[in-house]
Chain A
């Protein structure tokens, strides 16, 4: 249970980090909070030659609002997001999702970028980024690019990120003031990876859904955008929505698997239930308001 030997570098700037990643020719791994990576190192499921620790890079920390979006630096720790009052106002679903990531002790080290970049399919943050229509800014010595979260994930722990690329920020578009958030997960214990989960947001104007973004986690090899449900809900009058009918259709977008925690059938059954319940609660909330 000890990691294989590696070299360790802790650059101070993004440029320096990108140079090290490029020079390592695919043998390097970026270390942010380490709450997912270090277990993989300890179990020797990951054996990089070089660890590039980005904890010292000031540019990668903190949250800034720019026109039309909120950019969260990848080195922003999960505990900082929970304490961030501006984020609670602007992106409440992100804060709610982070509350469910790991435990108090792991959130003190764990980062937004680490969770986003690793792409654990049952993790809360990748699905939140997909649901809200976030984009992921990445950089390498070859240049910078912006990847929509929806196109970022390829499979479990597999993303479109090239070996020499570093995530430099996660950009969440603004959602209208007063939008409703949706979040529910089923896990064996608080802090465990979810067996089944869904997350999203919707906004309503004069009784109709004008914007909706929803995603599943733990329901396939990647976070999955709940496209079918989004299409069914957009433009609908909130009074006439049959939440269970939407959930029945929404489940067709998922590809759950059997593992030693739960069967695919269990995940589909519970997924449908939590989707319907969460949607119903969100709509009721709107009707009351």
Chain B
């Protein structure tokens, strides 16, 4: 059982710590760094609730070891809204379209959409919906989430993401 010293940027803040090799990035973010917006559902890469952005890409944080994220830049749901509390465009769209109920899957859904709509290249609604197939939601029946995808595909987010 090896212990590793790691350093990463989480939501624009530098975090360092010692982790056991077997600790997942999800557990590190929740238990060590305190970002409990990372939801741990199935812990084997199926449900999508733990999705975070690592170096610009949406990934499952339960399928990555914390030690593998050494040197990486990580964004969780806590890192999306502006300092003054203004919601990220994805969060705002989720709110307005009633795209959540219990909220367990929500941070994962939001991170996938934020990763895909934040860049310069705009994705089609079809591409966004395809990416959402990586998330399981047991409350909403997905229709609200689909409306969010439609809106984001239609809206130019510029550099906000």
Contacts and interface: CB of A to CB of B under 8 A. Distances in A.
B131 A104 contact: yes
Contact of A38 (B58, B63, B131): B63
A34 B133 contact: no
A42 B22 CA distance: 9
B91 to A, nearest CB: 19
Interface in A48-73: 51, 53, 55
Sort chain B's interface into a size bin.
20 to 34
Given A34-B65, A106-B45, A191 B1 contact: no
Contact of A108 (B22, B24, B44, B58): B58
Contacts of B130: 104, 190
Contacts of B57: 79, 108
Given A38-B63, A39-B63, A106 B1 contact: no
B60 to A, nearest CB: 6
Interface residues of A, number: 32
B58 A104 contact: yes
Interface string B64-77: 11011000000000
Nearest to A99: B130
A55 B68 contact: yes
A191 B133 contact: yes
B63 A34 contact: yes
A6 interface: yes
Contacts of B68: 10, 34, 53, 55
Interface in A1-40: 1-10, 31, 34-35, 38-39
A103 B64 contact: no
A39 B4 contact: no
Interface of B: 1-2, 4, 20-22, 24, 27, 43-45, 48, 51, 57-60, 62-65, 67-68, 112, 116, 130-131, 133-134
9 contacts: A1-B43, A2-B22, A5-B1, A7-B2, A42-B44, A104-B58, A104-B116, A108-B59, A190-B133
Given A2-B24, A51-B21, A53-B68, 14 more contacts: A2-B22, A10-B67, A31-B65, A34-B64, A34-B68, A38-B44, A41-B22, A55-B68, A103-B131, A104-B116, A104-B131, A105-B51, A190-B130, A191-B134
